[in-house]
């Protein structure tokens, strides 16, 4: 019964991974003869300013892909639960979840239009009297990376809200009734009952969103292509450029392995903490 799934996983996941590890020790352009160079590719990854900068940008994106969506999702899920209006709850969840079903490439293109000098964002700022703050958001140093990060926040907030709202529904209502009888307010209720009850959901969301931040590609590629300069360059886009533009398959493979290790170094401790706190 397990053989077909195991065979597919081995062929499409394990085998390409092992090939990637093998390629990372070679100097190869993908066509000609390869040359074994040991760990030179890995040394280049950790000494190249461009690749190190892309890793730094990816960790900055964790703020927008993880911290903002999870925090906002907690607040929105609590508010929707407290309102307890069936139709409102259904409609609000549907609206919030819509960005999740939109292809990330399409989201990047749409937001690049809205961020343009004559786009929706600047038009809204001008309409509310903040015309001095208008700018080409994706083309300006210092603003491009946060602007791209907010696209990720918009995409992921709905997923976080819906999952957390589902988790709140599994918390025993008697716990809320008991703490209200003790005279606790909404904030104490939120800290004492809601957050501990959502520990597993929060751990899952943090894992998913951290992976999304560190492996981001679609939104960056369609909105900025890593610009201006290297302001929004991330590992996924850097690997794409090295492998398909510079035809350095060995270095691209080594960077991919490093990225996988970085993801594991961040995610595995989070998973252990969530299990230990049960």
**Which residues, in sequence order, are bridge partners of residue 27?**
35
- Direct distance between the N- and C-terminal alpha carbons of the chain, in angstroms, rounded to an integer: 33
pTM metric for this prediction: 0.88
- One digit per residue, the tens of pLDDT, for the chain of length 278 reads 899 999 999 999 999 999 999 999 999 988 888 899 999 999 999 999 999 999 999 999 999 999 999 999 999 888 888 776 567 677 877 888 888 888 888 899 999 999 998 899 999 999 998 888 899 999 989 999 999 999 999 999 999 998 998 898 888 888 888 888 888 788 888 888 888 888 888 988 999 999 999 989 999 999 999 989 899 999 999 999 999 999 999 999 999 999 999 989 988 888 777 776 55
Q: Which CATH architecture has domain 3-276?
A: Orthogonal Bundle (1.10)
Query: 248 CB contacts (<8 Å, ≥6 apart)?
Result: 27, 29, 242
Q: What is the DSSP string of 242-263?
A: IIIIS--HHHHHHHHHHHHHHH
In whole angstroms, give the CA distance from residue 181 to residue 173: 13
């Amino acid at each position: 019964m397990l053989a077909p799934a195991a065979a597919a996983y081995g062929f499409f996941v394990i085998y390409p991974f092992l090939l990637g590890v093998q390629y990372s020790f070679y100097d190869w352009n993908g066509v000609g003869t390869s040359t074994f160079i040991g760990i030179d590719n890995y040394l280049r990854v950790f000494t190249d300013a461009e690749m190190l900068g892309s890793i730094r940008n990816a960790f900055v994106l964790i703020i927008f892909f993880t911290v903002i969506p999870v925090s906002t999702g907690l607040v929105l899920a609590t508010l929707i639960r407290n309102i307890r209006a069936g139709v409102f709850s259904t409609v609000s969840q549907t609206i919030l979840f819509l960005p999740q079903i939109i292809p990330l490439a399409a989201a990047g293109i749409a937001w690049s239009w809205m961020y343009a000098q004559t786009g929706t964002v600047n038009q809204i700022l001008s309409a509310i009297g903040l015309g001095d703050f208008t700018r080409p958001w994706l083309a300006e140093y210092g603003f491009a990376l946060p602007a791209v990060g907010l696209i990720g926040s918009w995409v992921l907030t709905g997923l976080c809200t819906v999952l957390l709202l589902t988790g709140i529904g599994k918390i025993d209502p008697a716990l809320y009734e008991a703490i209200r009888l003790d005279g606790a307010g909404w904030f104490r209720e939120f800290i004492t009952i809601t957050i501990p009850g959502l520990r597993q959901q929060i751990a899952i969301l943090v894992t998913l969103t951290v992976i999304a931040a560190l492996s981001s590609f679609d939104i960056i590629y369609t909105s900025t292509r890593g610009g201006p300069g290297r302001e929004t360059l991330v590992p996924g886009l850097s690997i794409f450029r090295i492998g398909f533009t510079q035809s350095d398959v060995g270095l691209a493979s080594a960077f991919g392995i490093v990225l996988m290790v970085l993801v594991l170094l961040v995610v595995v401790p989070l998973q252990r903490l969530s299990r230990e706190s049960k």
